[in-house]
Amino acid sequence: MSLKTIAEINEKIKKGKVVVVTAEEMIDVVKRNGTKKAAQQIDVVTTGTFGPMCSSGMFMNLGHSKPRIKIGGGRCYLNDVPAYTGIAAVDIYLGATAMPENDPRNTVYPGTFKYGGGHVIEEFVSGKAIRLEATAYGTDCYPRKKIETYINKETVNEAYIYSPRNSYQNYNVGVNVSNRVIHTYMGVLKPNLGSANYSSAGQLSPLLKDPKYRTIGIGTRIFLGGGIGYVAWQGTQHSPCGPRTPEGLPKGGAGTLAVIGDAKGMSGDYLRGASFLGYGATMFVGLGIPIPVLDEEMAFFTSRADDDFYAQVVDYSGDYPQRIPGSLCEVTYAQLKSGKITVKGKEVPTFPISSYSKAREIASALKGWIESGSFTLTSPVEQLPGPDSGISLVTLDERAPEEMQ
């Protein structure tokens, strides 16, 4: 039974009486007072994460030139990085992993991938000028065939981040059992179990603090890229039905979020272009979600600490690329953050590729917004598919036409 509602919490925000703590602080609150008392005392717990999120990007409406040009169906480049043009005349989408056509990729191995879509987005939200080059085939109503100009966030109509998959609930720990260095989206992995890379804020991570998606759903207002965003849908590869602890905490990737927000209100401090040696370009995304403490169960979940959360250690030299299921072992985030774990009897040093200090900064900033009354909570208009939804991910296999009957 709920002790309070989101509407009641919003009233407290408006009156300046709301009690907000970060997810780190909630751990100590529950240790001191227990879940029952904490549920009565605390209204909102703020979370944060800042890590590489490849499935990110930005829509823009450029406005119409004179004479008009139909970029849709043509080609468009922003600082030489190609944008997707398969939509209307002057709408484009720039993906975080897009790269200039003349980038050598991995032809010179390992490739450096110095500049990509994520870097363009960082510069755009920082207010910098972006060079635009576009070509079109020309029509009677859109006769122009070429334009070269500069844009920034003040000269376009709309610019909004839309990311199909952000904020993984949990994720693998990457290791390398081969005898050579490998380059992956988990970073550079040293041979012979020489390193273990992980990418999660653990006890600050948003979906780990609402593991059953009771309060996070479609329409939830969030901190996104330094501005305000919303959960638009479950993210791609949302897979909530995997193994969980007896308390219901996921032990693998589990949930994801599709998110949207006004890029004009965002900051290069929280949207950062990045280059992964030998893998590609991407973007670090800052994301934080407020979790209302509706009852004792939510007090319990929001107070779970790093030693409660498990991650799977996966070999990225063989098992992962060959889609071989399973893991070498599982470890807690407390073990990962200690600087070393044991895999196959060997002590392995650990390295985060996401930023815990930045996640803490995001949770604290969101706490400040709520306390100041500038940020209120929203109730989901629809829940995300949960652990009992029966969702299972399909795979891309080579199929003959007759198999599709």
CA atoms within 13 A on the CB side of 248: 16
d(CA 23, CA 307): 14
Residue 267 lies in a domain: no
In tens, the pLDDT along 265-305 reads 999 999 999 999 999 999 999 999 999 999 999 999 999 99
Instruction: Report the pLDDT value the prediction gives residue 388, as an integer from 0 to 100.
Output: 96
Residue in this structure with the two tokens 């080609």, named with its chain if needed: 75
- Whether residue 52 is predicted with pLDDT greater than 80 in this model: the reply is yes
Confirm whether 141 is a catalytic residue: yes
- Of 251, 303, 285, the residue nearest 359 (C-alpha): 285
Is residue 1's pLDDT more than 90?
no
State residue 31's pLDDT score.
98
Note the pLDDT of residue 285.
98
CA 264-270-275 angle, 5° bins: 110
Q: Answer whether residue 95 shows pLDDT above 70.
A: yes
Residue 271 CA to residue 153 CA, distance in Å, equals 15
Name the H helices within 42-182: 117-125
**Who contacts 397 (Cβ-Cβ below 8 Å, separation ≥6)?**
none
Question: Which of 74, 68, 212, 224 shows the shortest CA–CA distance to 140?
Answer: 68
Cα–Cα distance for residue pair 289/215, rounded to 1 Å: 10
Q: pLDDT tens, 153-167? A: 999 999 999 999 999
Average pLDDT over residues 132-139: 98
Residue 66 lies in a domain: yes
Kindly state the average pLDDT of the residues 231-236: 98
**pLDDT at residue 389 above 80?**
yes
CB half-sphere exposure, 3, CA atoms < 13 A: 18
Query: Residue 2: what pLDDT?
Result: 74
**Pairing assessment for the beta strands 75-78 and 44-46 based on DSSP bridges:** unpaired
**If you average pLDDT over residues 112-134, what whole number do you get?**
98
Mean pLDDT of 116-135: 98
In a domain, 323, yes or no: no
Confidence (pLDDT) at 349: 98
Structural domain harbouring 125:
57-161
Stated as kind and residue range, the H or E segment containing 357 is: helix 356-372
DSSP, collapsed to helix, strand or coil, labels residue 250 as strand
Is residue 303 in a domain? Answer: no
User: pLDDT at residue 122 above 90?
Assistant: yes
Which residues contact residue 86 at a Cβ distance below 8 angstroms, ignoring those fewer than 6 apart? 72, 73
pLDDT band at 330 (very low <50, low <70, confident <90, very high): very high
* Overall average pLDDT of the 168-186 stretch: 98
CA separation for the pair 280, 274 (Å, rounded): 9
Catalytic-role residue among 54, 76, 141, 329: 141
Average pLDDT over residues 16-34: 98
What's the pTM? 0.97
Predicted confidence band of residue 64 (pLDDT cuts 50, 70, 90): very high
Amino acid making up residue 242: G
Q: How far apart are CA 63 and CA 158, in angstroms?
A: 9
Q: Is residue 331 part of a domain?
A: no
* 108 within a domain of the structure (yes/no): yes
pLDDT tens for residues 334-384?
999 999 999 999 999 999 999 999 999 999 999 999 999 999 999 999 999
* Beta partners for residue 172, in sequence order: none
**245 belongs to a structural domain:** no
Directed axis angle between helix 23-41 and helix 356-372, to 10°? 40
Q: Which amino acid is at 117?
A: G
Let me know the angle formed at the C-alpha of 239 by 216 and 224, rounded to the nearest 5 degrees. Answer: 40
pLDDT tens readout for residues 201-214 = 999 999 999 999 99
Please give the tally of structural domains in the chain.
Answer: 1
Q: Rounded mean pLDDT of the chain?
A: 97
Cβ atoms 204, 24 nearer than 8 A:
yes
- For 260, list phi and psi in degrees, rounded to 5: -145, 145
User: 121 phi and psi, to 5 degrees?
Assistant: -60, -45
Distance CA 39, CA 183 (A): 45
Residue 322 lies in a domain: no
**Does 261 score more than 70 pLDDT?**
yes
Is 94 a residue whose pLDDT tops 90? Answer: yes
User: Among candidates 50, 97, 100, 94, which has minimal Cα distance to 276?
Assistant: 97
Q: What are 153's two structure tokens?
A: 């966030």
Taking a C-beta distance cutoff of 8 angstroms, is the pair 23, 201 a contact? Answer: no
